[in-house]
Structure 1
Amino acid sequence: MFRFLVFVFLFLLTSHTYFQRSVHADVPEPPEDYEGIITPPYEDYFRYKTSTGSGYRIKHTTKIWVGGDVMFNWGVRDAMKGEDPILPFRSFTSLLYNMDYRMLNLETPILHKTPTLDKLKSYVFYGEKKDLRVLTALQIDGVFLGNNHTMDLGETGLKDTILSLEESKINFAGAGRNEEESLRPLIFKKDNIEYRTFSFSDIGENRLFASAKSAGAAYFRVGTAERLIKKAKLNQVNMLSLHWGVEYSPEPTEVQRKTAKYLVNAGYQVILGHHPHVPQGIEVFPKGIAIYSLGNFLFGSKNSYLKHNISVVLHFVGTALVCAEIIPVFGKHQTLPGDQYFFPLGGEESEEFLKEYALLCKNLGTELVISGGRGYVFLDKELKANVKPY
């Protein structure tokens, strides 16, 4: 009997060891230099039919994708604690792979070590250089630093951020080691067209902004923004990222609307807003559009005010903006226990959100066409008449 029990024990121990090895045999340890890069081909998760039919495939356009606020604390940090820190964000991979240029609002300094926090602010954000692997994996080309958190860790923090971005080959606009650098735009060229995006913050104390001899964010002045494009060339498209507005408000202020109209008339084809942390509607002018707030992209806040957000694909034919495509982004992190999730909305949930968002656009005189879980603002009547669902 004793021999039989020993045999059973050894059998179970061997089986358990074998089972453990079998389970983990196909999960190799990542190499030390692993950067989370995801290589093609990608499965496209974003083509599906819904109650409003199929989405539109808008061919032969230059596609510039824009996302909202990003930082690496709170739920984002929790999501990155797994074995693969990139995994919680991979749902965006095939979507962003198909874009010509990708940019978003980086609302945090990036440090080489844990910092001493600014006690003068209620909320101080910071990230580590390794966090930029998420942006690299998503192939982000450029970030906006014109916001009220860029200087959370002072000049040293901003200089660390700039160095980390440069080492990660991610371009930036909206802040710099001096005012001149802070006013330089993101530049993307395709088919002899130069797409430029300037970045400013209308939010923050004076100490946060760049001067001739000190580092900081670019302070928003209408006159400065106008001067930067006064000598624009015929083959240039100018866009403006603005950190402005009222937090958690679904509507822009009248001052914002008047400012946007003036800037579009001055030559900015697209105004890209952020800071409210919730999406606001789109207003169409004869010479361009204002997307007053994108809301968050990767933020992970459980604030009860927060709902879903938007990202936008700007479709250009040459220098002409022909369509703004709205892709909803999940944002109700307070409703999910445990792990955080970051993904484009799909199906019925996307369409329900877009119906609400369409009302915000309607209040600004803009029609939002909903199809296939996405929203479309057409600026070209011929395109709107001829575009067909896929």
Structure 2
Amino acid sequence: MEELPLPMLLHLLADCPRLETLHIGEVWSYPLLDLDLTPPLQKVHMPYLRSISTCCTTLQAASHILSSLELPSKTRIRIHNAPVSAHTTADDNRLPSLAFMQPLTRLELAANSTTLYLVAEGDGAGIWIQAKWEGGSPSVWPAWLRQLPETVPLASISTFHVSLADWSVLPGLLSCMPGLSTLGAMTLPDGTGSTHDPMISALQSALQTAGPCPQSPRCPGLSTLSIQCSTTPDVGCVVALMPRDARRLSRLVLDFPGASLPEPFLGKVDEIEFGCGGICGWTKRSGWDVENEYWRLPEEDEPREARYTTAENLVCLSKPFTGTTERLKAAQDGRDRGHWRFPCIAGASAVCVHARFGEWIADVKGVAFPEPQAFTTNSSFAA
């Protein structure tokens, strides 16, 4: 199969106009030095194709295949374990325009210097890429991501979760998301050399700078912001991310060591949560897996660079401030759970336990809980 010329593959597909599922495995998995992958003058019309996936095929080859097909608006594209050859550039691996897809509303993006995970999806349509750069420094991904708005339609994205090694691309991406309402930013895990400073700086540049028009701020409808770090950023820099005009965040989620004091954010946000693991989670929707199990790609591959929780507490301060304090227990040993501590429970007026922690809820002994009190971000704690 590796020697199959692209024109021959397209000729086969042209004879299958009612094809609904297409999987291409390990075709052109080697560097494309001499292979001609020039797309045909006329694309192959595939009106019934619902799912197309490649596995171990180079990102360059997968992009050329997509460039050769005319796909319906409700199509799911999955490019799995795609090597990106060291001799290629961002332009060589550029995706074709996916503007034909039905509105994409959710974007998950994680990229370090070598690996890229990307999921952009909507109702019945989407693209999921897992690719690895085989070259050294500089990485191909910053230049590739700067081209993303030209290939993947971002105007309807309402939820964006992002984790990057090079945060310089963030302002450009956010400027193409006028309908964004939820933004979750997370540093890469410990051991990658990633720090929170570039992330906070990129967020400041993106959220405090005007959009295309001076009177038009970026992300004017942003209501939820989540910041997740493995180290503690300067709280003043985080406070500076809050909108300064009439706009106001509805929800702020902070997950980093020592995050527990609401006072700096009073009057700037309606609801603040500390140590809830951030919001950067992804649940695979139906439609990504083909019905035949033989052709299914690995279940364990999630489009997330990291999954970790750094919180020292699980305290939710909301408006109005209500919750329960009777049944809460620190999670016991576990890779993602760790040894949880709740240093500010004694000083909190209420504790909100998220649903995913339900299995760990139990009576807490030896902690004196206060009575629930009213709390708003327009005032101090009130009896």
Query: Could you say which structure has the higher strand fraction?
Result: 1
| TM-score, length basis structure 2 | 0.33
| TM-score, length basis structure 1 | 0.32
Larger relative contact order (CA 8 Å, sep ≥ 6): 1
